[in-house]
Amino acid sequence: MNDDNLKMFVEGTSRYFETVTQKPAIIGAPFLIKDINEYLSDYTGVIGISGDYKGAVFFTAPQRMLRQLLAAIGILESDEDKLMDLVGEVSNTVSGNARRTFGDKFMLSTPIVLKGKSGSVKVSKVEEVYVIPIVWRQHQANLIINLEE
Amino acid sequence: MRIMVVDDSEIIRIKIADVLADENFEIVGKANNGVDAVKQFQLLRPEIMTLDITMPLMDGIETIKKIVEIDDKVRILVVSALADKATLLRAMSLGAYGFLCKPFTDNDLAEAIEELIEDLV
């Protein structure tokens, strides 16, 4: 992943929050990590990537943030199914928007959703894993990028 | 006018249906994958469909093909996060009438639907 590709994910995440909630998120600079499990939150949406790139994109967020995000979208019920749906949809939207840069050989799976900090998520060891920190209404979430060309 | 909403995210289905109901459209059906969308379409015959691309069982591209075989006059608005030009062109060449990229605002959606049907009203 080069700086331009990471910047594209930063911009995509920023665009999601600004468009959907009209309240911008603060997106931090990407940094490298060793253990993804230290950065997982209450709910995690995972998009598997295949084609020209291989790996996964994760969006992980605390329950309270997701409840507020649902309300900002206009969905007042926030049962567990909707919280899981939401993390999947955010991960799908940010990953799908990346095709603007990567093209249609950047193939996306439908979302897989994890609940809790399982401590057992394993990712490809070939390439680096980057975290892009997101702060929205004082809640901390992360976009985690694990891709190899 | 009668609309069917197809997306694997319940949140997106609710959001699209709410915005379009406020614009006085009649929501006649909702589906969370292409297979169910085609089945419902045969029964309900809506005039407009909003359609996601990345879905389980049958994706939006295959769904456009099946729907257009049944009725090539239906107005399909693709609502997808897939922001690449190739996907847009493929969807349009198969019979979609419009393309709205996620994320979208309520206004973006209302305007996209208005453009979709401007020659019908």
**Domain that includes residue A32, residue range:** 3-148
- Which residue in B15, B80, B87 is closest to A73 by CB distance? B15
Q: Are B29 and B116 in contact (CB under 8 A)?
A: no
Q: Do B11 and A104 touch (CB under 8 A)?
A: no
**Separation CA B87–CA A139 (nearest Å):** 34
Q: What is the CATH number of the domain that holds A89?
A: 3.40.1550.10
Q: Do A75 and B14 touch (CB under 8 A)?
A: yes
Q: Are A27 and A14 in contact (CB under 8 A)?
A: yes
The pLDDT tens digits along chain B (121 residues) read 999 999 999 999 999 999 999 999 999 999 999 999 999 999 999 999 999 999 999 999 999 999 999 999 999 999 999 989 999 999 999 999 999 999 999 999 999 999 999 877 6
The pLDDT assigned to B119 comes to: 78
CA distance to partner chain A, nearest, from residue B7 (Å) = 10
Cβ neighbours of residue B65 under 8 Å, at least 6 residues apart? B94, B95
The pLDDT assigned to A120 comes to: 67
Residue B31 burial (10 A CB sphere; 0-12, 13-18, 19+): buried
Strand partners, A51: A106
**Separation CA B104–CA A96 (nearest Å):** 13
pLDDT beyond 90 at A149: no
Domains annotated for chain B, with CATH where assigned, are 2-112 (3.40.50.2300)
CA-nearest residue to B108 within chain A is: A19
A91, A11, A89, A112: which is closest to B15 by C-alpha?
Answer: A89
The pLDDT assigned to A35 comes to: 87
Q: Do A110 and B103 touch (CB under 8 A)?
A: no
How many other C-beta atoms lie within 10 A of the C-beta of residue A124?
Answer: 13
Q: What is the DSSP string of B71-112?
A: -TT-EEEEEES---HHHHHHHHHHT--EEEESS--HHHHHHH
The token pair at B106 is 């309520």
Residue-wise pLDDT for A90-144, tens only, equals: 999 999 999 999 999 999 999 999 998 766 666 665 568 999 999 999 999 999 9
pLDDT higher at B37 or A1: B37
Number of separate domains in chain A? 1
B22, B18, B21, B80: which is closest to B50 by C-alpha?
Answer: B80
Between A and B, how many residue pairs show a Cβ–Cβ distance under 8 A?
A: 66
Residue A18 burial (10 A CB sphere; 0-12, 13-18, 19+): middle
Q: What is the percent of chain A with per-residue pLDDT over 70, rounded to a whole number? A: 93
pTM above 0.95, yes or no: no
The token pair at B62 is 């295959």
The dihedral built from the CA positions of residue A51, B12, B44 and B113, taken in this order, carries a sign that is: negative
The strand pair at B26-31 and B2-6 is best described as parallel
pLDDT higher at A125 or A42: A42
Q: What is the mean pLDDT of chain A?
A: 92
Q: How far is CA B27 from the centre of its chain?
A: 12
Q: Do B11 and A110 touch (CB under 8 A)?
A: no
Rg (CA), chain B: 13
A114, A116, A1: which is closest to A47 by C-alpha?
Answer: A114
pLDDT beyond 80 at A22: yes
